[in-house]
Amino acid sequence: MDVFDVLHQHRSIREYHDDPIAPELLDEILQAGVRASSSGNMQSYSIIVTQDKARREALFEPHMKQNMVVDAPVLLTFCADFRRMRKWLKQSEAPLNFDNFMSFMIAAIDATLVSQNVAVAAEAKGLGLCYMGSTLANCDQIGEILELPEGVVPVVGYSIGYPAENLRSATVYRWMG
């Protein structure tokens, strides 16, 4: 699909068919997405792919009980990752200074940019997705369930799968306020 068609046809998808996403397709989408620009070309993010049903069920509560967490075959969680950068600084015997709000913002921006490129790549392949603000709101609980190490913080995430909605029946989930 032409990129303009993909962008114009975008809408959030909250209901999904059971069909799994083929591993090759998921890989293709992620490989395209990670071509996104990143600050200093450091890619200070990590992407967590959650397909395991029990793990998705565990994430249901911190994701504010949004059904798409268990209904979609895949959840993608994009994390600001300080850990990798600090490891590299340490190995390079450079000052360990990637540890403040500015660093978090840099990593969070990298994570957000890659998330949207992955989203556009996925939509170009006929998949649908819906971001979940609960990723940031409950990043501590979500990080625990995903067993993230220190310095890896969930910032944006979405459910993703084959759309089972039509526009007229779509309900807008009120996730704020």
Ligand X SMILES: Cc1cc2nc3c(=O)[nH]c(=O)nc-3n(C[C@H](O)[C@H](O)[C@H](O)COP(=O)(O)O)c2cc1C
Min dist CB 147 to ligand X, Å, is 23
Q: Is 37 exposed, middle or buried (0-12, 13-18, 19+ CB in 10 A)?
A: exposed
CB environment 150-169: b (16+ within 10 A), e (fewer): ebbbbbbbbbbbbbbbeeee
Is residue 60 at the binding interface for ligand X, with CB under 6 A as the rule? no
Q: Helix, strand or coil for residue 156?
A: strand
Among 46, 50, 77, 134, binds ligand X (CB under 6 A): 134
Among 132, 142, 145, 160, binds ligand X (CB under 6 A): 132
x/- mask, ligand X, residues 137-156, rule CB under 6 A, reads: -------------------x
List residues bridging with 79 in a β-sheet.
46, 154
Is residue 133 at the binding interface for ligand X, with CB under 6 A as the rule? yes
**Residue 82: which of 52, 67, 102 has the closest Cα?**
102
Min dist CB 66 to ligand X, Å, is 6
- Residues of span 12-51 touching ligand X by CB under 6 A: 12, 14
Instruction: Kindly state the DSSP code that residue 16 receives in the 8-state scheme.
Output: B
- Residues of span 62-121 touching ligand X by CB under 6 A: 66
Min dist CB 108 to ligand X, Å, is 11
Tokens linked to 128: 């649908």
Min dist CB 173 to ligand X, Å, is 3
Among 130, 146, 152, 153, binds ligand X (CB under 6 A): 130
- If the CB atoms of residues 22 and 176 are measured against ligand X, the closer one turns out to be 176
Q: How far apart are CA 49 and CA 83, in angstroms?
A: 18
- Residues of span 157-176 touching ligand X by CB under 6 A: 173, 175
Q: How far apart are CA 86 and CA 19, in angstroms?
A: 39
Give the footprint of ligand X on this chain (CB under 6 A). Answer: 10-12, 14, 66, 130-134, 156, 173, 175
